[in-house]
Structure 1
Amino acid sequence: MNVDIGAVETANQAFYTAIEDADLDRMTEVWAEDTEAGKVSCVHPGWPLLSGRAEVLRSWALIMANTPYIQFVLTDVSTTVIGDVAILTCAENILTAGDAGDASFAAGKVVATNTFVRTGGGWRLWMHHGSPVLQGEDDDEGEEEATA
């Protein structure tokens, strides 16, 4: 495996581990700094575009404070490195707990694009964009019909 690809995938895993552990300090380390050339950005599923490090980190603080449990299983990971920019796409298979005190769990799937930039401190997240994958009970049948 290419050294850069391995380093980007390690940085990507640190991002998801920070979410799972509700570790805002670690999340702060994962994200790049805003620059004169531009600001970091984030699109959570169903949210408007968030622009700027402070706004992005505030959104993660809110999510972490209101999510009692979350686990990510990443599949379909694809990483491309071009110079000092890396783009990683993946499917986030998410298991999350219901409301506090509720013993229920919910599962969902999000397709994500995470763009990283190389900095003096290593690869840092520049942009996260998550898009929900709508699923229904008859998804498998629909896929079979579409390919038939």
Structure 2
Amino acid sequence: MSTPQALLASPEDTEAQFYEALQRGDIEKLMSLWSDDDEIVCVQPGGPRLVGMAAIRATFEAMFANGTINARPDKVKRVHTLTTAVHSVLEKIELTTADGVRSAYVVATNVYVKTPQGWRMVCHHASPGTSREAQDLSDAPSTLH
């Protein structure tokens, strides 16, 4: 189990540090942001459901073996209660290819709980996205009449 490094005052603090750890390839920092609950869950795009610290750590270690992950949160939608926060995030991923930098999108849901050590991640569920996800679809009318 990872030892929390600092008191995280809000879900937004935890989320910012999560994406920073991805961009730096910092496995220790990344794992310190997770709750030490046995039932934490992570689903990577197209991957299986990973349950528990060891399984989640192993998948991020394998990803970092190929380099850092240039993922940036965008269009975050938040639902907060006193002890739980759910963030729906459009992640913009930048990949360097032989043809230059290309962008891809991942739709993710990050769930945080408030613990005595501050806010910790209990779930990261990411699904492949398309450029269409860059535009929000909602029930709200797009024009006023």
Q: Same fold by TM-score, threshold 0.5 exceeded?
A: yes
Is contact 2:106–2:127 with CA below 8 Å preserved after alignment?
yes
Is contact 1:70–1:97 with CA below 8 Å preserved after alignment?
no
Does 1:89 find its partner at 2:88?
A: yes
Per-residue deviation at 1:105? 3.2
Distance 1:103 1:65 in 2: 22
Residue aligning to 1:57: 57
Residue aligning to 2:15: 12
Structure 2 matches for 1:121-132, cutoff 5 A?
121-132=117-128
1:28 to 28, 31, 49: 31
Amino acid at match of 1:118: K
TM-score normalised by length of structure 1: 0.76
Give SS of 2:35's match.
Answer: coil
Runs of 4+ in 1 over 4 A off after TM superposition: none
Is contact 2:19–2:73 with CA below 8 Å preserved after alignment?
no
Residue aligning to 2:3: none
5+ residue gaps, structure 1: 1-5, 141-146
TM-score normalised by length of structure 2: 0.78
Please give the root-mean-square deviation of Cα atoms over the aligned residues, in Å: 2.2
Per-residue deviation at 1:109? 0.2
Per-residue deviation at 1:80? 1.4
Distance 1:59 1:7 in 2: 26
Distance 1:12 1:62 in 2: 21
What is the identity percentage for the equivalent residue pairs of Structure 1 and Structure 2? 29
